Structure 1
Amino acid sequence: MSNKQTKTDVILIGAGVMSATLGALLKELVPEWEIKVFEKLAKAGEESSNEWNNAGTGHAALCELNYTNEKPDGSIDISKAIKVNEQFQVSKQFWSYLVNSKLISNPQEFIMPLPHMSLVQGEENVSFLKKRYEAMSNNPLFRRMEFSDNPEKLKEWLPLIMKDRTSDEPIAATKIDAGTDVNFGALTRMLFDHLKSKNVDINYKSSVDDIKRTTDGRWELKIRNVDSGKVERHAAKFVFIGGGGGSIHLLQKSGIPEGKGIGGFPVSGLFMVCNKPEVVEQHHAKVYGKAKVGAPPMSVPHLDTRYIDNKKSLLFGPFAGFTPKFLKYGSMFDLLTSVKPHNVLTMLAAGAKEMALTKYLIEQVMLSKEKRMEELREFIPTAKLEDWDLVVAGQRVQVIKDTPEGGRGTLQFGTEVVSAADGSIAALLGASPGASTAVHVMLEVLNKCFPQHIKEWEPKLQEMIPSYGVSLMENPELIEEIHDSTDQALGLSEKKELVYS
């Protein structure tokens, strides 16, 4: 064991899309800062960021019905949809800057244009979707959205879904061509290649076993080489914990008061995948349905076209599962060891509150492949068992904490940053919309942790993200400008024409 301590400016824990994004931002803002990255696995982007561990949706609230709620008076609240859409536009602007600056290339390897659609059945759901369409299509962020409850039009939009459909139930869909399929694994690897070229020290197979504060105010990390067992100590002025589900344990080890009382609930995901060309070619969209009554927001069923390794496939799910692991390559003791004296009451309260979720997860775990096929056939009536395989996706850890609105033990569905009062350490917790809003979330980290630098960084931030500090909603002309410039930089307009020619 070595007691020698290596000092640096910034340490990023985890080689996922969040650390990659923060590293890329910092290298543009303060290129002279030294950055080290420590990742437990052998490569970048192997956990939640990996292309097979998420649905690859560029979450812009174009099709996700759980971002728009019906209020008691029957009107539709689209405030969350506006927020998520604006955040995704921030990501697209930063990716465009990286492409235009030749810091990354070949954007088609990580982003493709793809219509985003919402599909519902039943009179009540069709009424909801129509009201949602009316509320959203009047908004400049969503004004290219179309609605139809005409079966003939739906056959044009959704040939595979409408083929041999015999139900007499009303059915409707909305469609917006501005959607995207994003390969976050490819993007993560590109960003780490870029960081490596900027002399960022990236260390794989390096497990962070402990974090503690030193007398000089730095954070010291105990790093163990997974293969050799050799231990090193590295200290930094600022540490970002971007370890996916593993972030909770590391946050707890830091001992900061802001991390007290927070727990996590792991949910695993399964998808059904079809690679049969004659089936795949009949569908070209991401189509989101409505979660069943009593099911959690992350269970919204969707049928997606995916582009992975230059190959087109179809993905359907997610089906939820349960394992006590916080990471796909984690430990069966992750959940147990996350329970501490400061969060045990919060965790117990969540357990009592979320009986419906527990019941749902048990039912999902017990599903046979044939039962999963029955759910798939609600989307594709002609689906054949032999055409679809089951793929285990990534682990998500939903944050549990006490909130004024939800009380003790409230399960959070979203992404949040927990940082020390002095800004010296920050951790990213939670799940969807996650990777899609990575740039927005990392800007939040910069604002929270480097307030003394933000003023001097503003000109560069505005160069990288033209809408920085501006509400797109209040600047419709800027929305069009950004759509045009990002589509051009990322090659989305050109590819859209190829797809529909």
Structure 2
Amino acid sequence: MPVGEWDAVLVGGGVMSATLAVLLAEVRPDWRIAVLERLDDAGQESSAGWNNAGTGHAGLCEFNYTPQRPDGTVDPAGAVRVAEQFAASLVFWGRLVERGVLGPPEAFVRSVPHVGLGQGTDGVAYLRARFEALRGHPLFADLEFSDDPGVLASWLPLVLAGRTDGEPVAATRAAQGTDVDYGVLTRRLLAALRERGGEVRLRTEVTSLRRRDGRWELAVRDRASGGRRRLRARWVFVGAGGGTLPLLQSARVPEVRRYGGFPISGRFLRTERPELVAAHRAKAYGSAAPGAPPISVPHLDLRVVDGRESLLFGPFAAFSPRFLTRGRRSDLARSVRLGNLPVLLASARDNRSLIAHLVRQVTAPPSTRMAALRRFVPTARDEDWTLVAAGQRVQVLKETGGRGTLVGFGTEVVTSAGGSLAGLLGASPGASTAVAAMLDVLAACFPAQADEWRPRLAGLVPPPTPEEVARARRVLGLAPVRPAVAP
């Protein structure tokens, strides 16, 4: 069985691996770098246009990043952190566009205002406190707040139409928000890698990973021919989405011995009806229903995929034992080991509200989904909306303080064998923070090269100062950030 030798092999052809590959080619242009993807093209799983909401997550409207304190004030730290991470992504994309390697940016990123929607007395009070906590930060300079019906109708005509119950409503709006097609972005990043001499191998599935004689050995299968071979690499990154945990388990990485994974698939209601799309030019996020987990936050999004505009509303949870959209039904069962069984059992015990929510969502009739939509769009008609499947996500389960914890937000970098292996686990905000996450991978795995690589990385990802972000937005054709008028 032939063995190929590589300096770095990246498993998974999504936006994470694509971003890391470009960064790695920048600092080590002499390395042989390969990206392996099991499907017929890159960016077809979680990065695919229809497998996510396309939000450029920057904390502008997502309430999950701004928890309310007991005194009613809001902690802005999480929103600021994710805003800084997304700013790094914008700067990176802008520099690559300036180099002429990503093509026209409007194919993968465009301006779409981000709106936070507060409903009811408590919802409006929370939104006002959130606005006050964020408005002074430079990355939220254009954030506006209003509870004036006329202003709200101009921001969200589809959402405000037909409201007759007198319920208090307020909104914040940030014109700097974005919609991103991460699938297109992924493929363009990998095209840039090819131009630098890297390889992208499609229909190539990694079936196991082992440490042998100081190198990593990857068993791979050609999904077109069925042929099998082995590759050897000095360094390996596993960024295979739901496929990451099983591969790290196959590598017998002790750092994940007690990690578990629980797959959750998503569904959205979608419409392409022109008059509805024309009446909602934003991504509007609300609050999770009472008793529902934070990952269930409802949002109504303008999407542009392959040049076609539509609206998505959701998410609605569904269940499949697969760890990937095109995975195996045995994925969940095969991930259970003696080492992580206690964590799985503890997570089932300590996350009953999530399990109950999932059961309700899976068994809910169509009328329940439409009722949730009408909470946002009172005039919504059943015949205008279609239920569509979205991507498959694997929520990481681990033990924290003696409790089984579901890591619903953020990403976790796992390194092993002296930094020669790295894996990325986690979900939202995921793709939006790819640059920051991949810089963390390089820092964790190559600390001795930090000083040597810093100048090259700074040329591609300079610190996201207001000036650098403004430059990136101009290059990418995005709306400039203009300070909001004080209310």
TM-score bracket relative to the smaller structure = over 0.9
SS in 1 for 2:388: strand
Q: Deviations over 1:232-269 (max 9, x none)?
A: 10000000001100100001011121121011111110
The whole-number CA distance in structure 2 between the counterparts of 1:461 and 1:294 is: 44
Report what 1:172 is aligned to: 170
Q: How far off is 1:494 after superposition?
A: 8.0
SS in 2 for 1:95: helix
Q: Which residue identity does 1:489 align to in structure 2?
A: V
CA distance in 1, matches of 2:219, 2:292: 41
Query: Are residue 409 (structure 1) and residue 404 (structure 2) matched?
Result: yes
Q: Is the 8 A contact 2:118 2:171 kept in 1?
A: yes
Alignment correspondent of 1:304: 301
Between Structure 1 and Structure 2, how many residues are aligned?
481
Task: State whether residues 163 and 382 of structure 1, in contact with CA within 8 Å, keep that contact through their aligned partners in structure 2.
Answer: yes
RMSD: 1.4
Correspondent of 1:434 among 426, 430, 435: 430
1:368 to partner: Cα distance? 2.1
Worse overlay, 351-360 or 413-422: 413-422
Structure 1 residue 482: Cα displacement:
2.2
CA contact (8 A) 1:112 1:495 kept: no
Contact 1:207 1:225 in 2 (8 A): yes
Instruction: String of CA shifts for 1:330-369, please: whole Å, max 9, x gaps.
Output: 1111111111111100111001111111111011011222
Counterpart in the other structure of 2:116: 118
The CA distance in 2 between the partners of 1:226 and 1:103, in whole Å, is 30
**In the alignment, is the contact (CA less than 8 A) between 1:39 and 1:206 conserved in 2?**
yes
2:329 paired residue number: 332
Contact 1:113 1:495 in 2 (8 A): no
Task: Tell me the secondary structure at the aligned position of residue 492 of structure 1.
Answer: coil
Distance 1:400 1:494, change over 3 A: closer
The answer to whether residue 245 in structure 2 is matched with residue 255 in structure 1 is no
Question: Does residue 423 of the first structure (1) align with residue 419 of the second (2)?
Answer: yes
Corresponding residue number in structure 1 for 2:485 = none
Paired amino acid for 1:408 = R
How far residue 408 of structure 1 moved from its aligned partner, in angstroms, is 3.3
Equivalent positions of 1:211-360 (< 5 A) are 211-215=209-213, 217-360=214-357
CA contact (8 A) 1:18 1:438 kept: yes
Which residue does 1:203 correspond to in 2?
A: 201
- Greater shift, 50-59 or 313-322, is seen at 313-322
Give me the TM-score of the superposition, normalised by structure 1: 0.94
SS in 2 for 1:483: helix
Structure 1 residue identity aligned to 2:255: E
Which runs of 5 or more structure 2 residues have no equivalent in the other structure? 483-487
How many Å apart are 1:168 and its aligned residue?
1.0
Which moves more between the two structures, 367-376 or 120-129? 367-376
Distance 1:167 1:303 in 2: 21
Alpha-carbon separation, structure 2, partners of 1:234 and 1:454: 28
Contact residue 36 and residue 201 of structure 1 kept, 8 A = yes
Cα shift at 1:421: 4.9
TM-score if structure 2 supplies the norm length? 0.97
* C-alpha distance in structure 2 between counterparts of 1:231 and 1:315, whole Å: 41
Q: Which amino acid aligns with 2:398?
A: K
Question: Tell me, what secondary structure is at the counterpart of 1:303?
Answer: strand
Does the 8 Å contact 2:175/2:481 carry over to 1?
Answer: no
Correspondence 1:394 to 2:391: yes
In the alignment, what sits opposite 1:499? Answer: none
SS in 1 for 2:358: helix
Aligned AA for 2:253?
I
1:18 aligns with 2:4: no
Q: Which residue of 1 aligns with 2:183?
A: 185
Residue 196 of structure 1 deviates from its aligned partner by 2.0
- 1:76 corresponds, among 49, 52, 74, to 74
Distance 1:401 1:213 in 2: 25
Work out the CA distance in 2 between the residues paired with 1:397 and 1:293.
Answer: 24
Note the C-alpha offset of 1:370.
Answer: 2.4
**Structure 1 position 495, deviation (Å):** 13
SS at match of 1:326: coil
After superposition, what is the alpha-carbon deviation per residue over 1:67-112, rounded to whole angstroms, capped at 9, x for unaligned? 0011122221011111100000010111011101112110100000
The aligned amino acid for 2:404 is G
Measure the CA separation in 2 of the matches of 1:268 and 1:482.
37
Q: Match for residue 475 of structure 2?
A: 489
What is the distance in 2 between the residues matched to 1:85 and 1:439? 12
CA distance in 2, matches of 1:291, 1:42: 37
Aligned residue runs from structure 1 range 2-81, under 5 A: 2=1, 4-81=2-79
1:63–1:495 CA distance, 2 compared to 1 (3 A): closer
1:411-454 deviation line (CA, Å, top 9, x unaligned): 11221111115100011111000000000000000000111211
8 Å Cα contact 2:91/2:469 also seen in 1:
no
Task: Name whichever of 485-494 and 76-85 sits farther off.
Answer: 485-494
Q: Say whether residues 1:105 and 2:100 are aligned partners.
A: no
8 A contact 1:61–1:82 mirrored in 2: yes
Task: Report the secondary structure of 1:76's partner residue.
Answer: coil
* Residue 440 of structure 2 corresponds to residue 454 of structure 1: no
Question: Contact (CA 8 Å) 1:133, 1:174: kept in 2 or not?
Answer: yes
- Deviates further, 221-230 or 79-88: 221-230
List per-residue Cα deviations over 1:150-177 (Å, max 9, x = no partner): 1111111111111111121111100011
C-alpha displacement of 1:199? 2.4
Indicate yes or no: 2:80 matched with 1:85.
no
Q: Deviations over 1:191-211 (max 9, x none)?
A: 122222222221111111111
- DSSP-derived class of the 2:288 partner: coil
Q: What letter corresponds to residue 102 of structure 2 in structure 1?
A: I
The match for 1:147 among 141, 145, 148 is 145
Structure 1: which amino acid aligns with 2:413? Answer: V
Query: Whole-Å Cα distance in 1 between the matches of residues 303 and 159 of structure 2?
Result: 16
SS of the counterpart of 1:294? Answer: coil
SS in 2 for 1:31: coil
Deviation at 1:483, TM superposition (A): 2.8
The unaligned stretches of length 5 or more in structure 1 are: 473-477, 497-501
Q: Is the 8 A contact 2:350 2:403 kept in 1?
A: no
Once the 2 structures are TM-superposed, how far is the Cα of residue 124 of structure 1 from its aligned partner? Answer: 1.1
